[in-house]
Amino acid sequence: MTGGFLGELGKRLAEKWLSLLVLPGALFLAVAAAGRVLGHGHPFDVDRLTDRVTAWAKAPVVSTVGGQVVLIAAILLGAAAAGVVAQALGSALERVVLAAGWQSLPGPLRRPVRAWVERRQRRWEAARDRYRSAREAAARALATRRRVDPGERHGAYRAMARIAPERPDRPTWSGDRLHAVAVRLDRDLDLDLPVVWPVLWMHVAPETRAEITAGRQAVTSAAALGGWALLYLPLLCWWWPAAVIAAGVGLTSRARLRAALEGYAQTVEATARLHAAGLARELGVADDTVHGSEAGAALTRHLRGHVLQN
């Protein structure tokens, strides 16, 4: 039984290694080699590329079994190495995009970022005021039984949400989307998410944890795609169409990252709203009559005290 489990685990790890590192890495190596052959002067010369590949195939080292084994091993190792670099770049890109620690940057870097955050805050506040005006106008029309087109109100809300779901605190939309979860839970439930989340994670059902984990992995995968976009940029040194590839991969990564962050943020917020009161009751800090902000405040106080004691 253990052998079967380990065999299945090894199979899944091999499949993941192949899909995440080797296949994208092999494609990158192929593009890099093709770009090196074609260069800036002949960027789309298929005949030139075909002739060079044919010459490589006729090389004596490729005609032997040993040479073929070495070549395949070199390609696999090169592809895997490219994949590891892309994953590392994706992790760095994710940290930059989420910008959770931008306030700890050195002064020369922090000042322009702060100026950008303040600019986003002013834009968001102006959009919020327009949304409030549209909402108040709709309320007045409803009070006088006048029909009003909701399009203006909905459009004003979407314009505000395109800047940030809540008042901006970070330099990017992606960072503010995750930050908005903590802001809303603190405002609506008096819940300190960073304090409560580790215990709440252990409280929820395995199915819920699996859904949250899948959402987080989607964010990581989207950021890794951005890492591949960065990896394609150096190919510009000898083949300009690499810019088109990098731009396409980068735009795809951006769209996927935003969608993944939206889904992940919604899942985390829904989990906290649905299960915080149950956790408070299980820890004995609230009973069945306590809900909402009372349960959130009691849970936060209890866990903050536990953290301080340790």
221-239 per-position pLDDT tens digit = 999 999 999 999 999 999 9
Asked whether residue 91 falls in the same domain as residue 158, the answer is: no
Total length of the chain? 310
Regarding whether 219 and 92 lie in a shared domain, the answer is yes
Q: Cα 185 to chain center, whole Å?
A: 21
Helix (H, G, I), strand (E, B) or coil at 284: coil
Looking at the fold, whether 293 and 264 belong to one and the same domain comes out as yes
**What residue type is 82 in one-letter code?**
A
| C-alpha triplet 217, 266, 292: angle, nearest 5° | 130
Compute CA distances 73 → 26, 29, 64, 76, whole Å.
Answer: 12, 13, 14, 5
94 within some domain: yes
Question: Between residues 120 and 285, which one has the greater pLDDT?
Answer: 120
Band of pLDDT at residue 310, cut at 50, 70 and 90: very low
DSSP string of 225-288, one letter each residue: HHHHHHHHGGGGGT-TTHHHHHHHHHHHHHHHHHHHHHHHHHHHHHHHHHHHHHHHHHTTS--T
Do residue 267 and residue 132 come from a single domain? Answer: no
Of the residues 169, 193, 214, the one at which a domain ends: 169
Q: Which of 147, 169, 191 is the last residue of a domain?
A: 169
Statement to judge: residues 152 and 209 lie in one domain = no
Q: Is the pLDDT of residue 215 over 60?
A: yes
pLDDT-derived band of residue 143, with 50, 70 and 90 as boundaries? confident
Which residue type occupies 272?
A
Q: CA-CA distance, 292 to 294, in Å (whole number)?
A: 6
Residue 275 resides in a domain: yes
Is 9 inside a domain boundary? Answer: no
For residues 202 and 209, give the distance between their C-alpha atoms in angstroms, rounded to a whole number: 9
pLDDT band at 284 (very low <50, low <70, confident <90, very high): confident
Q: Are residues 176 and 154 in the same domain?
A: no
**Using 50, 70 and 90 to split pLDDT, how confident is the model at 8?**
low
What is the pTM for the complete model shown?
0.85
Domain range enclosing 238? 62-100+172-310
Check pLDDT > 70 for residue 2. Answer: no
Average pLDDT value over all residues in the chain: 87
